Structure 1
Amino acid sequence: MKYAIVTGSSKGLGESIAQLFLESDVHVIGLSRTANDHLAAIAKENHMMFKHISCDLGNSQILDQTCHEISKTIFTEETTAIYLINNAGVVEPIEQSLNIKTDELVRHVHVNTIAPMAITNYFLGKATEKGVPLITANITSGAAESPVSGWSAYCSTKASINMYTKTAALEQQELKTDNKVIAFNPGIMDTGMQEKIRSSSVSEFSRVETFKGYKEQDLLKDTDHIGGVLVDIVTDENIKNGKIYNVKNYL
C-alpha cells in the first residue's frame, strides 16, 4: 500500500499530481486551504482513498499537528512507500525589494521555505523510525538560479529550497536510509500563479509583458502533462537523491 502527501492539492499542478497518483493505485492526502470534490470523485472511481486536510501553510504553529494527524493515517503495517510532494507556493509579493512590507515577506517565506522544510523534516524522521521509504519532491523554479526583478522573495525562497534539497539528501545518504529528496522545476504552466504574474504592473515586475506573451502565444504547459513527468520521476526506482530535475529534459 502506497500513500502520497500533496500540498496545494486543490488546484493547478497539485490537483494534477494528486489525480495521477490516485489513478496509479496510490492513496492521497491533500493539504490545502480549500477542498477539491473532483479528487474525491476520482478516488471513489478508482477505489482509492483521498483525504483532504485543511491547512494554512503560512501558519507554522499548526504544521507539526497537521503532520501528526497525517501520520496516523499513512503509517500502517501494510505501507510500503510514501511520496511527499511539496507543491504549494506563492509568488507574491511581486514588487521591488524596497517596497515589500515585512509581514508580506514573512508569510511568503513561511509558505515557500519553512513549510516544505518542516513537513519534510517531520516525515523523514517518521519514515526512518517506521522503516518505510519516503520519496520527497520539492517544487522549485528556474528563478532559484536567475535573479528576476520584482521577485526577490520568490527567487530567494526557491534558491533556499534547492540548497535544502541537496543538504537533506546528503544527510540521508550519510545515514544510509532508503529516503530520497529531490527538487523539480516544472517550467511555465497555465496556472493561477501565472494569472497573478500577468496582473502585475511594469513598475512591480519589469518582465510582465514577456509573461503575457507566454499566454498569448500558447507557450504555457498543461499541468496534467507536467504532473505526469513528476509522478514518473518519483516512482522510478532509479531516482537520483539530491538531484534538481528540470521538466525541459523530459519534454
Structure 2
Amino acid sequence: MTMEAYIITGASKGIGLALSKQLAEKGHQVYGIARSFSKEWPGTKSFDFDLLKTSEIPALIEIIFGFIPEDCEIITLINNAGTITPIGFAGNNPADEISGSIALNLTAPMITTGAFITQAADFPSQKRVINISSGAGRNAYEGWSAYCAGKAGLDHFSLCLEKEYKDIKTMSIAPGIIDTDMQGKIRESSETDFPMIENFIAYKEQGKLSTPEQTAEQLIRLFEREDFWDLETIADIRDYN
C-alpha cells in the first residue's frame, strides 16, 4: 500500500471531517488543523489553531512536517477551511468581517501552501495541493462579494502555482452544494442581504444538498484517478462523478 500523508485545514467538521475519517480508514496519515477538535476526531494528529493568525502558519506547518514519515510517497495539502461571512451588499459589510473573510478564504491558504512547499522540498515524495474553491469564485452573486472575491483569488493563485511548480500537482476544486454549517448560515441570512436565499432554502427542503460524506467520497475518488496529474487545475467535482 502506498504511504500517503494529508494535511487538512478545517478538519473538525463538514467536508474536512468527512475527508479525515475516510482517508484515515484507508490507512493514510491525516493531520488536521482547526480551532478545536472533538476527542473522537479520527485522524493521526490534530492541531488546534486559528488560521486567522496568519503570521504563525509557517511555524505550524514546520511542526506538522516533523511528524510526517520520511518514506511517505505522497504528501497532500487540502486547503478546506473557509467562511461565508459576511453576507450582505458590499457597502454594508463591516470592515473587520471583510478582512477576516479574505484572510481565511485566501490569505491563509496562500501562506499555508507556501509553507507546505518549503517544508516538502526535502521529501522525495509526490506533492499535491488541493484548494477547495466554489462556484462563487467563477460566478458573481449578490450579497457574497467577499466570498466570491476570496474564492476567485484562490482559483487564480492555483493557476499561478501550476506555472511556478511543475513538480506539484495543484487543483482548485468546486465541491458542489453541501449540507454543512455554511449552508445553515446562508439560510439564516435575509433576502435583503442575499436575494437568492429562497433558492438555497429550496435546495435543503428538496433534498438537493450533498452530504459531506458523499462529497469526501467523490474527492477521494478524484485523488485516486490514474490520470489525476493530467486533470485541469480549475475543476468542479460534479464534472467527474
**Coarse TM-score class (shorter-chain normalised):** over 0.9
Preserved contact between residue 59 and residue 110 of structure 1 (Cα < 8 Å): no
Between stretches 128-137 and 22-31, larger displacement belongs to 128-137
Which segments of 5 or more consecutive residues in structure 2 lack a partner in the other structure? none
1:111 aligned partner = 104
Match of 2:29 among 7, 27, 30: 27
**Paired residues for 1:77-116 under 5 Å:** 77-116=70-109
2:38 aligned partner = 36
Shift in Å at residue 134 of structure 1?
1.2
Match of 1:221 among 210, 227, 236: 210
Preserved contact between residue 9 and residue 32 of structure 1 (Cα < 8 Å): yes
In 2, Cα distance between equivalents of 1:119 and 1:201: 34
In 1, Cα distance between equivalents of 2:46 and 2:153: 28
Q: What is the one-letter code of the residue matched to 1:72?
A: G
RMSD: 1.4
Spell out, residue by residue over 1:18-69, the C-alpha distance to the aligned partner (whole angstroms, 9 max, x if none): 11110111110000011133333xx5xxxxxx21101111111211111111
User: In the alignment, does 2:54 pair up with 1:60?
Assistant: yes
In 2, Cα distance between equivalents of 1:98 and 1:111: 21
Match of 2:66 among 62, 69, 72: 72
Q: Percent identity?
A: 32
Q: Runs of 4 or more off by more than 4 Å in structure 1?
A: none
SS at match of 2:191: coil
* Number of aligned residues: 238
Shift in Å at residue 196 of structure 1?
0.1
Shift in Å at residue 185 of structure 1?
0.7
SS at match of 1:230: helix
2:14 aligned partner = 12
Shift in Å at residue 235 of structure 1?
3.1
User: In the alignment, does 2:139 pair up with 1:149?
Assistant: no
In 1, Cα distance between equivalents of 2:126 and 2:238: 27
Preserved contact between residue 33 and residue 46 of structure 2 (Cα < 8 Å): yes
